[in-house]
Chains A and B, each alone.
Chain A
Amino acid sequence: MSRRAALITLALTLLVSWGSLVVTQVLGVRPKLGLDLRGGFSVLLEAPDGTDPDVLEKAAEIMRRRIEALGDVQEPEIAVTGLRSIEVQLPGVTSRQRALDAVGKIGQLAFRPVLEVSLGISPLLAAAIQHEQSTTTTTDATTTTSGEGATTTTSGEGATTTTSGETTTTVPATTTTTAPPTPPDLTPVLPPGIAICVVDDPDDPDDAPPPLSDQPGCVDGTLGITLSDDPTKEAWLADPRTGEVFALAPARVLGGDLADAQPDFSQSGGGAGGVPFGVSTGGVGEWVVSLEFNREGAAKFEQVTKELAAYSPGDPRRRFAIVLDGLVQSAPQISPEIGPDTGISGGRAVITMGTGGNPEQAARDLSVVLRYGALPVAFEQPSVQSVSATLGADSLQAGLAAGLAGLGLVALAMLAYYRALGLVNLVGLTVFASLLLVIFSLLGETQGVSLTLAGVAGIIVSIGITADSYILYFERIKEEVSAGRSLRAAIDHGFGRAFRTIFAANVVALAAAALLFMLAVGAVKGFALALGIATVVNVLVARIFTQPAVALLGMTPLGERGWFSIRRAVGTAREETA
């Protein structure tokens, strides 16, 4: 390597490595710490054998939504790992119990008969508004009767479904303009057994209400939407895709009654082995979801479809809402050809997806929802861990102290062994450390990769491995010199030969780290990742730093003269060859 090339490479390397470190630190881009370093809660959930990856993704998605609803979690990490595990990491979470509630149980899937549908407003709220208007015009005696009337409506016997559906679109407009901002009181229209949810009072944070899971079936006091879905009670739930809000009867078929659900492309328009159930468009072929119930589910399903088929086609009460975790996923209608005396028997049914939007995607999504709902009530929890913030901080401190001490010791040993060459190693370690820090900062910022305690351990271990690269090179220089080369020639020639060995060694190490990363779970993954990144950086540093630095050093007085020189470290040509 010529002096000029070495100078340029070295200057560039130092500029890039130290410069990027300064830039990231000034910008406040720091490595994202794992929860074992800053405290938090983590749980590993394991689905039963053979669970479809799509279904696992769905489960993770539902957990994510629930965790976000908790509100006090920063950057939750919920990821599918391995074949059938979900890893949930909640850094800095304060309430262990609420976190466990949120991820611990599978969302309940239920088939609920539809009682009433309205667009954009809960039928319950609409009923309350109507009720309030009627009380302002009539006497107290009629209040109770109209209240009862509303109750019967929601329980499925009211005959005013369509009209209430129409009025809802106009009533909110009038309430917002004429009525005071206080929402109507839902209490008079609530059916028995259903209460208004007690929620966190922002003015009184000390008095924590019972969690929503302890208030089954409760309804939001202002929106009239059920917050805590209880399949045994009536519910008012929305389909976020269509904007419809449904009043729903208690669940008749549950997720556990389902055996399987698969998306299918049906050629003949509804003949895919099940009785059609849903809006048929009569096309040549269409996307459907085929359902299969287990024996118990088949009986329940037959019974309920008989009841629903008693309503005339077009009546919303001929519809069936598929509810998962408080959201209506789909509400197909019983096909017109099904009569009240036959129902859908045989435990098989088909939901046709229509032609709007992307029916293939819709069929896939719905089948995943259904299969997810068929999972057992809770995943197994092979590992639950919460780390207090103080323990995390202590661990971080210990890791940093150990890392710095390790760096210092290695640098000292190398200085003692190789004198001026040890100096190269010392500066090289700072380049190595800067690059690693920058890489982890950027990974944390862009990819959400966090640095765990195991990762810190991996980095500390890799300090020793980088030292090996220097040793291989320096020993090679020694060999070349003793074989009779001049110092500069040995430095130049030695690098090429040493680099081949360094490269081979690090490829093996990288392969080991990659293998470990792919196969391992949890903390070990962090260890493997840190080790792998350090390995790559190590090879890079050898090429862009060590080579030019040693070459330049060989040209300075430190090359040949004095007790600290390279010459003293590598010796002279052996007089007699072996």
Chain B
Amino acid sequence: MNLARRLYWGTTHFDFVGRRRRWFMLSAALMVVSALALGIRGLNLSVDFIGGSVIQGKNPAEASLSEIRGALGRLGLAGAKVQITEAAGEKGFRVQTGELTPDLEDRMVAAVAAVVGIDDLDEISRQTVGPTFGRQVTEAAMRALVVFLILVSLYMWWRLEWKMALLALVGLGHDLLLAAGIYALVGFEVTPATVIALLTILGYSLFDTVVVFDKIRENISERSDRQTLSAIVNMSVNQVLMRSINTSFTSLLPIGSLLFIGSALLGATTLREFALALFIGVAAGTYSSIFLCAELLAVWKEREEHWQRIRRRLGRKGVEDEYAAREPEIIPEPEAAAALPAATGAVPRPPRKRRRHR
């Protein structure tokens, strides 16, 4: 059976846990690049965060960049950012400046209107933002995020267990940093809409993680005395793979159409802000729930006494892990067995899972 078929029928046997190092390396590399990009290039904050004026409109006279710049220069606004846009075959322009007095803004609009050939000044859209607005929006968003995270963590703690809740948050942090890194690297403008859209979708990506963990929990309760944790995690991830891929794909389709048809072809920039953040959020969320959180959970929980014992017992019997078509060099069994108790040190914690077998 080819890959698509096996995916479709849920009969894939990928060894996610066995190959975790390559995913960990990938994530680590992404994190380092993101952090560097953030540190060096910084985010391209929109006018909403730094304050200033944006005017935009059509450009029937097809004025060039230098003509508009010239008009602005005569008003002493040489530092303004000027863009010539083109959407659906029509030229447009966009000018962004720092904070202006209302009077100067009016004169700027009049000057630019004359250059681009617009008679009715109300045909030019304007946005004037004080420097506090973006901060206010972001603060509100952050408050929402914190409240949301606390509630979701409590829910996961209650429904699953605290290790899973914590790892879901780790995955969330990963996605956030990655998205911020992409924005910094590519230089996309960050608007309040971006921030909020990203936060919204993080909710969904968190839910993706919950679905994976929920499956793991279900499988653990069924076969915790027969298989190693790594095998159970592998099996669970393979089981939800189709659903995760399908859901991400169908979520990305409309977002992609928003991104490419709505904004690139037809030039609605507000749509782009939403769509881009959503696109990155969904993609990163799916990646981290499958390739990062599940593996981290496997590594962490393998240290628990219960799973150590299972592993030793199965090792003695020489039973292969399910789905564990792993090459010996990826997890050298003796090394893992020797290293783990030594690393944890003292008396191992009593197995938590016991309670579930009452």
Which residue from B9, B124, B200, B204 sits with its C-beta under 8 Å from A516?
B200
Question: Is residue B141 within 8 Å, beta carbon to beta carbon, of the partner chain?
Answer: yes
Q: Closest A residue to B275 by CB, please name it.
A: A457
Which of B30-38, B243-251, B345-353 makes up part of the contact surface? Answer: B243-251
A417, CB-defined interface residue at 8 Å: yes
A512 touches B197 (CB 8 A): no
Which candidate, B260-268, B298-306, B307-315, is the interface stretch facing chain A? B260-268
B136 interface residue per 8 A CB criterion: yes
Nearest-neighbour CB distance to chain B for A497, whole angstroms, equals: 12
Q: Is the CB of A399 within 8 A of B251?
A: no
CB contact between B196 and one of A410, A468, A527 (< 8 Å): that residue? A527
B247: which A residues are within 8 A, CB to CB?
464, 467-468, 471
The answer to whether B270 touches A521, judged by C-beta atoms less than 8 angstroms apart, is: no
* A383 on the B face (CB < 8 A): yes
Q: Is A457 a contact partner of B258 (Cβ separation < 8 A)?
A: yes
The reply to whether A388 and B270 contact each other, CB–CB distance below 8 Å, is no
Question: CA A59 – CA B56 in complex, angstroms?
Answer: 31
Question: Judging by beta carbons under 8 Å apart, are B203 and A508 in contact?
Answer: yes
On whether the beta carbons of A398 and B262 are closer than 8 Å, the reply is yes
Fill in one digit per residue for A398-411: 1 if any B CB lies within 8 Å of its CB, else 0: 11011101110110
- For the complex, give the distance between the alpha carbons of A456 and B254 in Å: 12
B189 partner residues in chain A, CB cutoff 8 A:
none
Q: Does residue B14 face the partner (Cβ distance < 8 Å to A)?
A: no
The number of residues on chain B lying at the interface, defined by a beta carbon within 8 Å of a beta carbon of chain A, is 70
A363-399 vs B: 1/0 string, CB under 8 Å?
0000000000000000011111111111100110111
Contacts of A463 in B (CB 8 A): 254
Binary B-proximity of A495-530 (CB < 8 A = 1, otherwise 0): 000000000010011011101100111111001100
Restricting to A77-117, which residues have a CB under 8 Å from any CB of B? 82, 94-97, 100
Determine which of B127, B140, B242, B252 lies in contact with A521 in the assembled complex, contact meaning CB atoms within 8 Å: B140
Interface residues in B1-27 (C-beta closer than 8 Å to A): 8-10
Q: Are B262 and A571 in contact (CB under 8 A)?
A: no
Q: Cβ of B271 and Cβ of A523 under 8 Å apart?
A: no
Contact A460/B255 with A475-B242, A520-B196 known, Cβ cut-off 8 Å? yes
Is there a chain B Cβ closer than 8 Å to A489's Cβ?
no
Contacts of B265 in A (CB 8 A): 398, 401
Of the candidates A44, A402, A478, which one forms a contact with B258 in the assembled complex, judged by CB atoms under 8 Å apart?
A402
Is there an interface contact between A515 and B147, defined as CB atoms closer than 8 Å? yes
Q: Which of A395, A461, A511 contacts B278 (CB 8 A)?
A: A461
- Looking at chain B's contact residues, the main secondary structure is helix
* Cβ < 8 Å to A, chain B residues 75-134: 87-88, 102, 106, 122-130, 132-133
A421 proximity list for chain B (CB < 8 A) = none
Closest-by-CB residue of B relative to A501 is B211
Which residues of the other chain, A, contact B254 by a CB distance below 8 angstroms? 402-403, 406-407, 409-410, 460-461, 463-464
Residue pair A531, B200 in contact (C-beta under 8 Å): yes
**B246 close to A515 (CB less than 8 A):** no
**In the assembled complex, A413 has its CB within 8 A of some CB on chain B:** yes
List chain A residues, Cβ under 8 A from B162: none
Answer yes or no: A124 CB below 8 A from chain B CBs.
no
Cα-based distance from A524 to B256 in the complex (angstroms): 20
A414 touches B (CB below 8 Å) = yes
> Which chain B residues lie closer than 8 Å to A219 at the CB level?
none
Q: Which of B9, B250, B268 contacts A414 (CB 8 A)?
A: B250
Give the docked Cα–Cα distance between A524 and B138 (Å). 11
- What CA separation (Å) do A515 and B146 show in the bound complex? 11
| Nearest Cβ on chain B to A208's Cβ, whole angstroms | 14
Residues B255 and A571 in contact, CB atoms below 8 Å apart = no
With A384-B126, A413-B250, A471-B246 already in contact, the answer to whether A398 and B268 are too (CB < 8 A) is yes
The smallest C-beta distance from B164 to any residue of chain A, in angstroms, reads 15
Name the distance in Å between A77's Cβ and chain B's nearest Cβ.
18
CB neighbours (8 Å) of A454 from chain B are: 193, 270, 274
Q: Is B152 located at the chain interface by the 8 A CB criterion?
A: yes
Q: Is B148 an interface residue (CB 8 A)?
A: yes
Contact A465 B274 (CB under 8 A): no
Q: Known contacts A384-B128, A402-B262, A464-B250; is A521 also within 8 Å of B122 by CB? A: no
B204 touches A509 (CB 8 A): yes
Cβ B203 vs Cβ A512 within 8 A = yes
Q: Is A472 an interface residue (CB 8 A)?
A: yes
B207 on interface, CB distance cutoff 8 Å: yes
A528 to B3, alpha carbons, bound, how many Å? Answer: 38
Q: Complex formed: what's the CA distance from A228 to B102 in Å?
A: 23
**Does residue A578 face the partner (Cβ distance < 8 Å to B)?**
yes
Cross-chain contact B122 with A527 (CB below 8 angstroms)? no
In the assembled complex, the CB of B312 is this many whole angstroms from the nearest CB of chain A, namely 24
Residues of A within 8 A of B124 (CB): 388
Contacts of B267 in A (CB 8 A): 394, 398
Q: Which of A97, A386, A521, A571 has the most CB of B within 10 A?
A: A386
Q: Is A286 an interface residue (CB 8 A)?
A: no
Which one of B56, B127, B271 contacts A384 once the chains associate, using CB atoms below 8 Å?
B127
B57 in the interface (beta carbon within 8 A):
yes
- Tell which of A410, A453, A512 touches B271, judged by Cβ atoms closer than 8 Å: A453
Query: Is the CB–CB distance between B133 and A44 below 8 Å?
Result: yes
Interface check A36, CB cutoff 8 A: yes
Cβ of B320 within 8 Å of any chain A Cβ, yes or no, is no
Whether A406 contacts B203 by the Cβ 8 Å rule is: no
B160 to chain A, nearest CB (A): 13
A519 / chain B contacts, CB cutoff of 8 Å: 140-141, 143-144, 147
Cβ of B137 within 8 Å of any chain A Cβ, yes or no, is yes
| Chain A neighbourhood of B58, CB < 8 A | 390
Tell me if A409 and B137 are in contact (CB < 8 A): no
Mark interface residues in A434-466 (1 if CB within 8 Å of B CB, else 0): 000000000000000000011011001101110
16 further interface pairs, Cβ-Cβ under 8 Å (given A391-B57, A505-B207, A508-B203) = A95-B122, A380-B132, A384-B128, A403-B257, A406-B254, A409-B256, A410-B253, A413-B253, A453-B270, A457-B197, A482-B10, A512-B203, A515-B148, A519-B143, A524-B141, A527-B200
Ranked nearest first, the 3 interchain pairs of A and B with the lowest CB-CB distance are A406-B254, A464-B251, A402-B262
Question: Would you list 18 pairs from A and B whose C-beta atoms are within 8 A, ordered by A residue?
Answer: A383-B128, A384-B129, A399-B268, A399-B271, A402-B263, A413-B249, A413-B250, A464-B252, A465-B204, A467-B250, A479-B10, A482-B9, A508-B203, A515-B147, A516-B144, A522-B137, A523-B270, A571-B9
